[in-house]
Structure 1
Amino acid sequence: MGEPSREEYKIQSFDAETQQLLKTALKDPGAVDLEKVANVIVDHSLQDCVFSKEAGRMCYAIIQAESKQAGQSVFRRGLLNRLQQEFQAREQLRARSLQGWVCYVTFICNIFDYLRVNNMPMMALVNPVYDCLFRLAQPDSLNKEEEVDCLVLQLHRVGEQLEKMNGQRMDELFVLIRDGFLLPTGLSSLAQLLLLEIIEFRAAGWKTTPAARKYYYSEVSD
């Protein structure tokens, strides 16, 4: 027997019935309700920040399996519909659960990172992802380390791709980030450090220079 896939390892966090549903979706997508599968993955991503960081890989695997088997996109359509619903209610989600909001941003960025159309990122997700990052760069969000951490992590992950898709919006986002970094009060020292690091990261062409790596990582570890 072969080694379990990374997707199968991630499935272990679900109950037995849901595990079976997801395993079947990965191997025989035509045998299950793929809209239900999409809802299960989104719901779990909003509750489990560890899962939300890797769920894109599972979604990509199901989409590939469905395409090979039936040439359809029921799962992708269901997934994008749920992402849109949650996006439209994002302020209510943030007010209700900061962790749920951070999980949502992590998840939509993860989906943007993995899903491709003709080997290109999905245009339909570009502006929603930008809008989420803009929300994280508002002053009330920059006062919360969880949101600053999320903003910086997602820019490390998808910032370069986003800039290629819409450079003007990235310029506007970094105006907000720079303004936030210069806020006279409210930012913790860690938040300031993270914002400065991402400003320098983009300035260096979305790469970390050896000097920056040594400085920032020693500061964080201290």
Structure 2
Amino acid sequence: MAGRGAGRGRAAVSIASGSDASPTSGRGRGRGSVVSSPLLPRAPTTLSDVVSEIQKIRASESEPLPPILIHKCVSFTRGSGTNEQLVQTIFEAVYDNRERAEPLAILSSTLSSDGDNLIGKPFRNALLSHSQSQYNQRKELRLRSVEVWLCMISFLSYLFKYLKAGGQPIRALSGPLSVCFSDILSGDDISDDEIDCVCDLLRNVGSAIAQSSSEQDVQLIKLVRDKILASSTSNRARCLLLELLEFRAAGWTGKEEANRFYADTLGDMH
């Protein structure tokens, strides 16, 4: 998912609250006779196996996640791997390609569900703990790479969209997300790519943030308006922010005429 910076003195916000055997058949030694081979243990799933499946993910694919990916993730944590290793691998894959943020958030939500063939709460706890750690390092992440910083925000946004507890979004993710969005909207040395990313993500999760906290929603929209009026804001960024305001005014749904207008306007700016 490529979307359309870093905290500056914000108050801390908390996010974290054996081998299988399969029978095989041997060739018959005599006509009409079949001799069964001994049960052979399957090779344990390694981290390389998981990485190999994750790298096959394409954001443009509309199909559900391949069952083999889910199976290998579960098998890895039930073998020699840990939930923490799996979570770190998922984050690294997102940082390598922002377009993986949404499908890997869906994968993380699926693995966090309760079920015989899933991982459940232990994985969810590891996921939220690592998310908290990455959020706490947001300043360093942006200094390291603006793209990595945007990858982190994108992944947290889609986690907020898909990860549920009792059928509801994880409210602990709402505050950190709002801080990250505020960091960009109130920053001075902000690129158009960061504005583009924030606008794209807010179109996806803005409604959920508003439902989680009307105060955070009002504050973010105030920052959007301030950014539009700022002299340092480029015409392209201003157009993206105006489109976001109209999107929110329409109840976080796009209207075909407005979408066409802003698409044409942005196209004329290239």
TM above 0.5, yes or no, is: yes
Aligned residue number for residue 170 of structure 1: 217
Matches within 5 A, 1:94-173: 94-140=142-188, 143-173=190-220
The yes-or-no answer on 1:196 pairing with 2:245 is no
Question: How far is the alpha carbon of 1:28 from its aligned partner?
Answer: 7.0
Question: How far is the alpha carbon of 1:207 from its aligned partner?
Answer: 1.4
Question: How far is the alpha carbon of 1:41 from its aligned partner?
Answer: 0.5
Q: 1:144 to 1:27 in 2, by over 3 A?
A: same
- Which whole-Å deviations, capped at 9, do the CAs of 1:146-198 have from their partners, x for residues lacking one? 110111011011000110010111111111110110012x2222111100000
Aligned residue number for residue 49 of structure 1: 98
- Which whole-Å deviations, capped at 9, do the CAs of 1:103-128 have from their partners, x for residues lacking one? 00001001111100111000111111
Identity over aligned pairs, percent: 25
Q: In the aligned structure 1, how far is the partner of 2:118 from the partner of 2:109? A: 15
Q: Normalising by the residue count of structure 2, what TM-score does the alignment of the two structures yield?
A: 0.70
Alignment gaps of 5+ in structure 2: 1-51, 58-67
Answer 1 or 2: higher relative contact order, Cα 8 Å, separation at least 6.
2
CA contact (8 A) 1:108 1:129 kept: yes
SS at match of 1:50: helix
Q: In the aligned structure 1, how far is the partner of 2:259 from the partner of 2:198? A: 18
Aligned residue number for residue 139 of structure 2: 91
Aligned residue number for residue 12 of structure 1: 56
Structure exhibiting the larger radius of gyration computed from Cα positions: 2
Aligned residue number for residue 261 of structure 2: 215
Q: 1:34 aligns with which of 83, 104, 127?
A: 83
Alignment gaps of 5+ in structure 1: 1-7, 14-19
CA contact (8 A) 2:131 2:156 kept: yes
The yes-or-no answer on 1:62 pairing with 2:111 is yes
Q: Normalising by the residue count of structure 1, what TM-score does the alignment of the two structures yield?
A: 0.84
Measured on the aligned residues, the alpha-carbon RMSD in Å equals 2.4
Alignment coverage as a number of residue pairs: 207
